[in-house]
Structure 1
């Protein structure tokens, strides 16, 4: 029997009861369908994310000749590499990020959130309901990442379709036509970003791409063109997909836990802890893989070199050994040691910016639409690894 079926619609709708059963049975389970072990406790997930004998070892999509662009993006990504390459990439990218980009964007993000929520309110006024996902949750992170990278306004409509198509490759058992579509999107994205990088080499601006072009190690080493492109794509896919789904999953949870929504409306000082709790409560990324580079043991489960294990982040986030009343949404929860941004050397570099985005949206919603409510049943995405919604109809 499989620990869980990632294609089962009932499981996708609510995986948390099954996760609780798995935690009661043990901390790590072999999943023959996925071909890897899955860790379900917070302790085991935290250990595997931090263990230096468990790395992100990229394996090319095959046949290799059919996935040249997709593989290029991942071979050169700091997320898919280990030291010493990861150390060099992260140092350079972190140095570029440290040039004040998050604080530079904060007031702009707050203004954008207000504008998008005003648009949502206007559509509700006309049609009595509107899709919060399409009107607010999806456009804001795309605009933010585009602004961060310096993508011209007339090109920003290209980014979301590319991201949605590429990230489907992270699901298991993907159909061949969707795999080919992911490669086509990767090819277009790589070509676009190569041109953008060359423009920034010739005409630097205040954007992150300009800083990524100029940043150098103490010995003068810089990011290669492939690394620059891979970094930009990673920022879009990781930053966009995570923020959209934190907002979508989170607002849905708030609408279903009215006491917590009313609490947020009345207590704006809860915004920072609310963002953390929404990330914990319904994780936008459910599974994150590692590969053993040496013999290693996690919670009594032994892995040999080359064997894979995954952290089930959604299960770790509901572990009663760490979180009091874990199935309860509590916007004031503290401490809240969720693993939503990862842990160890692969901890998310964009976490500060993601927090700015989520709190800006929550703040705009609670100020401008305090009577926000569901206008119908949302449509959930069918994927397991990236957990989110297709629609979120609301009224006010």
Structure 2
């Protein structure tokens, strides 16, 4: 195990890429004792394991905690696990298949395309205010409000309630970090209980007065055909709100921080906005906002001669896979015109990100509006990273116009 992999070190979080290179150079599977996980750093392995049905986001569709040899979560964490355990991200077939089929209708390319004018209008409005103010924190003024507004609009969350969403989401996502401290767990449990209560209330309002929003559509699936439980509706809405903006917010600010550190590439993009589609993909590859995703091993697997037994957990290192020179030419080079770019920032297999088309639309809209209306935007101060590693992003990004 290479000593430089240290997800709790601020220096590692700020620049984990040398450690990933060392992991790739020294093997295909590395046991990491502090989290009792197998680290998987290569693109071919990560990509293959994401599609491998011998792995799962949960094991409870096949085993009890005892049978699987894993201690059940503490009883006091129950509100978090109830909320999280009934959402798409942590379900496997057949429940995952059933819920995804119902929810995916809201995210078809055609439905997302219909949202484009709304997303572009929201992005233009945020950027216009930002430019008038002469700049500020790109995270709080542009990156954060856009995806929150879009997903809240889709779900039918009233505008007055939207400021509640990000704090709840941030607290809940704290539990996805490696070995979260008890204080983080308590905050996640409290947020889960409050968020669940809020969503049950919203479901009650929409049941009495349905609209064209996604919550009303999910209620119809629950009431008419019994295909969703109320808990599944609550968990699905919470997941869409959490996953629907956390990664997009970080992709936006991480992306701009990357551009500021690559002035020649930024100049090329400013000179030719037609580069934007490949630029968005390359920024997602070069510094993905979700560097790692874990899977449980449901049946023994073998990677590079190493047998990883059932009951283990693998940490699929997306960020390492996205810089693997075996798959990407000049993998450490930012190339905004890169065409051959099978990055796995949105995952793969049955858990491939449902909102990928929407995330791409939001990123293109906010980057496009800033390139158009703030062509001279520049960095005021070097940013600091949040301490989290599993969801990796900056505390803020202060710029002037």
Normalising by structure 1, we get a TM-score of: 0.94
Instruction: Indicate the residue corresponding to 2:356 in structure 1.
Output: 351
Whether the 8 Å contact between 1:58 and 1:80 is mirrored in structure 2 is: no
Structure 2 Cα separation of the partners of residues 329 and 178 of structure 1 = 35
Q: 1:173 aligns with which of 160, 172, 179?
A: 179
Whether the 8 Å contact between 2:23 and 2:41 is mirrored in structure 1 is: yes
**Gap regions ≥5 residues in structure 2:** 66-70
Alpha-carbon deviation of 1:64?
A: 3.8
Whether the 8 Å contact between 2:107 and 2:357 is mirrored in structure 1 is: no
Structure 2 Cα separation of the partners of residues 18 and 307 of structure 1 = 23
Instruction: Indicate the residue corresponding to 1:197 in structure 2.
Output: 203
Matched, 1:148 2:154: yes
Question: 1:50-129 alignment to 2 at 5 Å?
Answer: 50-57=51-58, 63-98=73-108, 101-124=111-134, 129=135
**Gap regions ≥5 residues in structure 1:** none
Instruction: Indicate the residue corresponding to 1:321 in structure 2.
Output: 326
Question: 1:1-396 alignment to 2 at 5 Å?
Answer: 2=3, 4-57=5-58, 63-98=73-108, 101-124=111-134, 129-215=135-221, 220-396=225-401
Render the CA deviation track for 1:57-111: whole Å, top value 9, x for unaligned. Answer: 1679965431222111122111111111111111121134449542332111101
Structure 1 Cα separation of the partners of residues 109 and 314 of structure 2 = 36
Alpha-carbon deviation of 1:185?
A: 0.6
Whether the 8 Å contact between 2:222 and 2:229 is mirrored in structure 1 is: no
Partner SS state of residue 349, structure 1:
coil
Normalising by structure 2, we get a TM-score of: 0.93
Render the CA deviation track for 1:356-386: whole Å, top value 9, x for unaligned. Answer: 1000011001000111111111121111111
Whether the 8 Å contact between 1:131 and 1:393 is mirrored in structure 2 is: yes
Root mean square deviation of aligned Cα: 1.9
Alpha-carbon deviation of 1:27?
A: 1.7
Instruction: Indicate the residue corresponding to 2:68 in structure 1.
Output: none
CA pair 205-99 structure 1, distance change in 2 beyond 3 A: farther
Render the CA deviation track for 1:131-162: whole Å, top value 9, x for unaligned. Answer: 11111111111111111111001101100100
Structure 1 Cα separation of the partners of residues 39 and 286 of structure 2 = 19
